[in-house]
Structure 1
Amino acid sequence: MGAWSGEPFGNDAAADWASELDSLTDWGAVRAALTAAAGVPDLDADAASCAIAAAETVAHGIGKPTQNDAYTDSVHSFVERAGRPDDMLVALAISGLAAATSAGSELTELWEEDDPEEWRTANEALRDALERA
């Protein structure tokens, strides 16, 4: 899995996805990552990691980030260029996050074998931030 924390950008797939934001100026890639996850009952681990990272990016866009560290530097720069996400993207972020953390998600299965409480706590904080938008 290549994870060092349960935070949204605490794994290789999410960190790689975030680096792609460096050249982007709109929410298209974020929307694509969330759309690829939303409603998928058996999401693979990398797609789930990217969806969670995309949801955190939306949280940054609405001024309610749950992770602020060196791993989110590209997110800050992206949000400055892209502006605030619309309400439809916030709703999609909630749906994508739900799929990524569902019982059928491969990422959920992997975390259940490791330290699920840290991961669950981080995702609950993200869900709460998005729902307060």
Structure 2
Amino acid sequence: MLFYRWIMGTWSGEPFGSDSASDWAYDLADASDWSVVRDALAPVIGQTDVDADDAVIAIAAAEVVAHGLDRPTQTDAYTESVGPFVQRAGRPDAALVALALDALAASSSPDSELTELWQDEDPDEWLSANEALKQALDAGLPGRD
């Protein structure tokens, strides 16, 4: 576990539990609409063999959507930039929520490189965090509250 987490700069299975995700959060500082989040989700949509870095960023972007729905799964120092972004961008629409769910599914699919890396470690924390995020997003879709 220590080897992977040290190499990848990962300290938890939460959406913003890595250097890559935290670095991506800086993109939110200057953003005023959801396009930065949509751009982070798009590369993994429809993919089965998802690159680990793309997956990490897509999962962080999905967490931002959950924050926009007032259903965050992670609220700590690593998500401080999310609140001000959501205030500027407003509530995400149903299409973006569905895109976040699709990106989360692709990023955590059995063929995803990130899934393989977590399987070599202790995947329970990561799987639990992804399931919580999926539930938060799913509850944000119309008719699923």
Supply the distance in 2 between the matched residues of 1:91 and 1:99 (Cα, whole angstroms): 12
The alpha-carbon deviation at position 85 of structure 1 amounts to 0.5
User: Partner residue of 2:135?
Assistant: 128
Deviation digits for residues 67-126 of structure 1 (CA, Å, limit 9, x no counterpart): 000000001111011110100000000000000000111111111111100000000000
User: In angstroms, what is the RMSD of aligned CA positions?
Assistant: 0.6
What number of residue pairs does the alignment pair up? 133
Inter-partner Cα distance in structure 1 for 2:101 and 2:120: 25
28-37 vs 65-74, greater mean Cα deviation: 28-37
Does residue 77 of the first structure (1) align with residue 80 of the second (2)?
Answer: no
Structure 2: gaps (5+ residues) = 1-7, 141-145
After superposition, the C-alpha distances for 1:21-50 in whole angstroms (9 at most, x for unaligned) are 111000001011111111111111110000
Amino acid at match of 1:36: P
Distance in 2 between residues matched to 1:101 and 1:128, nearest whole Å: 14
The match for 2:32 among 25, 28, 31 is 25
Measured in 1, the distance between the counterparts of 2:113 and 2:66 equals 23
TM-score with structure 2 length normalisation?
0.90
Q: Report the Cα distance in structure 2 between the residues aligned to 1:30 and 1:17, rounded to whole angstroms.
A: 10
1:20 Cα offset (Å):
1.1
Q: Given the alignment, which residue of 52, 68, 71 partners 1:61?
A: 68
Give the distance between the partners of 2:90 and 2:105, measured in 1 at CA.
Answer: 24
- Tell me how far apart the structure 2 counterparts of residues 18 and 107 of structure 1 sit (CA, whole Å): 19
Aligned to 1:91: 98
User: What's the secondary structure of 2:91's corresponding residue?
Assistant: coil
Of 109, 114, 118, the match for 1:107: 114
SS of residue paired to 1:59 = helix
In the TM superposition, residue 19 of structure 1 has moved relative to its aligned partner by 1.2
Separation (CA, whole Å) in 2 of partners of 1:94 and 1:39 = 12
**Structure of higher CA gyration radius:** 2
